[in-house]
Structure 1
Amino acid sequence: MNSNLLILFKGEKQDYGKVSLHSHSFWQLEIVTRGHIAYTLLEESGKVLNAGDMLLIPPYQGHEFRYDMPGAAWVTLKFERNVRHAEPWGGVIPKSLFTEKFTASLLATITGTILRPYEKTFVEGMLESLFVYIESEDFCRAEDEPSRIVRAITDMVRERNGRPVNVDEIAERLSYTRSHVSKLFKQLTGENLKSFIDRVRLEKAKEMLRYSEFNISYITEELGFKDIFTFSRFFKRMTGMNPRQYRAH
C-alpha cells in the first residue's frame, strides 16, 4: 500500500481563529464536516472550503487555515505516500457522492483518534481510493454548470444501486424539464440518458448474477423489476442471453 497514515484527528472551532502559514514533509487531507473554513494553498488566498469539501495538501506546500465563522468542524489526516509523479497534485476536492461516502465511512468506522492496527489499514485503503478518484474522469471533468448537472445525474442513478429511476424523477429533483435534462446529458456524454440508466442497472444485474448466491427471483425483486419475465426480457435485450444463461456462462 502506498499510503502510511501518521495521524488522524477531529477538530472543532467554536470561536474565531487561525493556523498560520506553514508546510511539512508529509501529505495532509483536510475534510470539512460542518461550517466553512477559509484557506491558503499554493499562494492562493481568500478561498473557502464548505461542508463536504476536501483539501489535499502535498508535502512542502505552504498552507494556512482561518476560522472566520464559529462552529466549523473537520477531520485531518496526515500521511506519507510513495509518489509516482514528479509533481504531486494538490487542491480542492469538491463535495460529491464520492466525498460524502468517503467521509461517512470514515466517521462511522473511526470512533477515536488512537487507531487499532486494522482501523489504520482501513483508513490507508480509503486514502488509496481517494487517489484513484482524483485520477478518474469523474474528478477531472470540467466543473462548469452543465458538467455539474451531468455529475448530479450520474450520481443519482448510481445511488439507486441498480434499482429503477426514470428521467422525469431526475428532472424533478434537479428542478429542470425532462427535455433539458435529456438533451444536456446527451450533449455532454454522447449517450442517451435512458440508455445510461439501463446500462447501470445491467452492470448491477451482472454483478449479482456472477458473484452472489442469490436466486434470480431475489435479484429480480432487489433490482425493482415487476417479475422474472420482465427482468429476463430486459437482460436478454441488453446482452443477448437470459439471466440463467449468463450465470452459467
Structure 2
Amino acid sequence: MSKNDRLFKHLNMSMTGNIMTTDISWFRIIFSGNENLNTSMHKHIVHELQYVYKGCLPILIGQKILSIKAGEYALIPAGIQHKVISPDVPTRKLVIGFSIESDDLYVKNTYNHLASPVFQTATPVFQQLADVLVEKYSASYISTPSASAMSCILHILLLDITDEISSADQIQTMTQAAESYQRFNQILSFINERAFNNISIQDVADNLSLSVRQTSRICHNLFGCTINQLISQVRIQQICFLLTRSDNSISKIAEMAGFSNPYTFSRFFSHQTGVSPSTYRKNYEIKKE
C-alpha cells in the first residue's frame, strides 16, 4: 500500500435505516497507480464494492478479465473468487466490504440473487457521495475518521446501488446466473460421485434431463471444456488423492478407478499429468519430507 492509500478497518461501522441495515467491514481509498493488495485469487465472506473514479481497473473473475472504467463500479458478491490485476495506468478507486440485513422482501431478494458480479455505471447520486468520501477521508492528516459520518454516507451510497441492481433486467440476469451456478453444482456433483464408473456424456445429459447437445453447450459455457475433458479432470483429481492419501497399491488404485489393467491406467495417467502414477506418488512423498 502506498503512503497515499487510506485503509479503515474494524471501525464498527453500522447504519440502520427504514429499509436495511448496513454493516461495513472495511473502507479503502487507493490513490496509487498499482494495486498492491489482493493480487492473488481470493474471496470474501461479505460483499465487496470496487468503484473506479480515475483510470481503469482490470479484475479477473473466473477465467475472464473484466475492466472497470472511471465512473463505473463492480459489486462482487460474497464467496466469488476474484483477483485484482495491477492496472497499466494510474488508477484511483474506493473499495468497500459490507453486508446487508433487511426485512424488506425487495432488498432481500436483490442480495439473495447475487450469484455473479454486477457491473454498473455509477449514478450521479453515487458519484457525488463517492466524491464526498474521497475528499473527506483521503487527507493524510485524518487518523481516526468519524465512524458515524462515514457509515451514514456509505449507507446512502449502498441504498443507491440497491435501487440500481434491483431493476427487472438485473434481477433477471442474476436469476440466470443463479441457475447457471445450480447447473454447475449439479454437473460437478454427478461426475464427482461417479468418476470411476466410466460415465458418458449421455449419462450426464440424462441426469440433467437435457439433450446431449444442450449439455455440451452448458458444460463449455460453465467449465470451458467438453464433458469428456471434465470427466477426465475429475477422475485424475480423485486418482491423485488416492495416490497421495492412501496406502493402496497402484494396481489396486487402477482397479478402483475402473481400469481393466495397470498398463492402461498408467498410460491414461501419464497422458493427463505428464508423469507415471509411481513417479507422482514418489514426488509427493519427497515434498512431504
Question: What's the TM-score once normalised by structure 1's chain length?
Answer: 0.48
Q: Larger Rg: 1 or 2?
A: 2
Task: Determine which structure has greater relative contact order: mean sequence separation of CA pairs < 8 Å that are 6+ residues apart, divided by chain length.
Answer: 1
Question: What's the TM-score once normalised by structure 2's chain length?
Answer: 0.42
